[in-house]
Amino acid sequence: MKKYVLGTVLAIVGLLLLVSCVPFGGAGRQQPYPGGPGGMMGPGMMGRGWGSYNPDAKPITIDQAADAVRSYLNTYGEKLALTEIMDFAWNYYAEVKEEDTGIHAMELLIDKQTGQVYHEMGPNMMWNTKYGMMGNRFSKPTATMSVSAEQAENIAQQYLDSTLPGLTADEAETFYGYYTLHTLKDGKIVGMLSVNGYNGAVWYHTWHGPFIGMKEFE
What tens-digit pLDDT sequence spans the chain (218 residues)?
444 334 443 344 343 333 333 333 344 444 433 333 323 333 333 434 444 456 667 899 999 999 999 999 998 877 999 999 999 999 999 999 999 999 999 999 999 999 999 999 999 999 999 999 866 555 688 899 999 999 999 999 999 999 999 999 999 999 999 999 999 999 999 999 999 999 999 999 999 999 999 999 97
Contact at 8 Å (CB) between 184 and 211?
Answer: no
Sheet with 104-110, side-by-side order of all strands: 117-119, 104-110, 92-98, 80-88, 211-216
Residue ranges per structural domain of the chain: 24-216
